[in-house]
Amino acid sequence: MESPESASEVVAAKALGKRFGRRWALAHVDLVVRPGEAVLLAGANGSGKTTLLRLIAGLGQPTTGSLRIFGRDPGEERLGCRRRLSLVSHENYLYPPLTALETLRLWARLAGLALGDEELVRLLAEVELADRRDHRVGGFSAGMRKRLTLLRTRLEEPGLILLDEPLSALDAAGRTLVERWIGGFVAAGRTVIMASHAVERMSRVAHRGVLLDRGQVAWSGPAGEIPGRLEGHR
């Protein structure tokens, strides 16, 4: 069931606001993301980047305004929306007692993907974890955990990919890898929304930049201008 607007708008937020207790984490957010776009969310800590990504993933409901993902309400049709998106957040979503391969198997099985171990190991090789396939996740470094979690975006091939600080904890090779992936996602016509402090790097792979300030959209324009914008106001 796809409404006609879903073809042209992956994310459509109108006057979106989210209040936690007495604090407005987001306010007056109007944002439209079209298919195949790569959007970079920038802004200081606490500017609402994570909250926005979580709302899009249906983790929490907006206090004000409306939000449509592929033309659907993520609060009402949680499963339907989540099936078409993937979120990599600060949390790694890992079970320390499981090995890397078992973790991937679990995710694949839950998503109903018929992937054999061979394919899963090939995925692990992409993030240079193939030789660690049978090591428990609990013994992994932060960077290795992040790499493993990033594979979630590769498993299901969702139409919308949400990345919250995708570069954090990664080494130089890992960061290059993520950049390459994002390029691949965009080339494949998938939509990417990422929040990052590494604006210099990420603005190279993003089409559009959105600057958040105290929960509001302060500026929106070509991604290349973001570093300059932030620089001017430091």
Site for another protein, rule CB under 8 A? 17, 19-24, 27-28, 43-44, 47, 54, 57, 59-61, 64, 78-79, 82-83, 86-87, 89, 91-98, 102, 106-107, 109-112, 136, 152, 156, 211, 213-216, 218-219, 229-230, 233
- The secondary structure of 50-87 as a DSSP string is HHHHHHHTTSS--SEEEEEETTB-TTTSHHHHHTTEEE
Q: Cβ closer to another protein: 68 or 146? A: 146
Question: 78-94: string of b/e by CB count within 10 Å (b at 16+)?
Answer: eeebbebbbbbbeebeb
Task: Residue 29: name the closest of 11, 44, 45, 8 by CA.
Answer: 11
Cβ of residue 96: shortest distance to another protein, in angstroms?
7
Q: Cβ closer to another protein: 36 or 60? A: 60
Cβ of residue 8: shortest distance to another protein, in angstroms?
24
Q: Cβ closer to another protein: 154 or 214? A: 214
Cβ of residue 159: shortest distance to another protein, in angstroms?
14
What is d(CA 164, CA 197) in angstroms, rounded to the nearest whole number?
Answer: 10
C-beta separation of 209 from 221 below 8 A: yes
Alpha carbon 187 to its chain centroid, in Å, reads 17
Cβ of residue 176: shortest distance to another protein, in angstroms?
25
What is d(CA 114, CA 132) in angstroms, rounded to the nearest whole number?
Answer: 22
Q: Cβ closer to another protein: 155 or 170? A: 155
Q: Cβ closer to another protein: 135 or 183? A: 135
Phi, psi of 164 (to 5 degrees): -105, 110
Strands 11-20 and 64-69: antiparallel
Cβ of residue 10: shortest distance to another protein, in angstroms?
17
Strands 11-20 and 23-33: antiparallel
Q: Cβ closer to another protein: 64 or 183? A: 64
What is d(CA 227, CA 231) in angstroms, rounded to the nearest whole number?
Answer: 6
Q: Cβ closer to another protein: 90 or 180? A: 90
Reduce the DSSP state of residue 3 to 3 states and report it.
Answer: coil
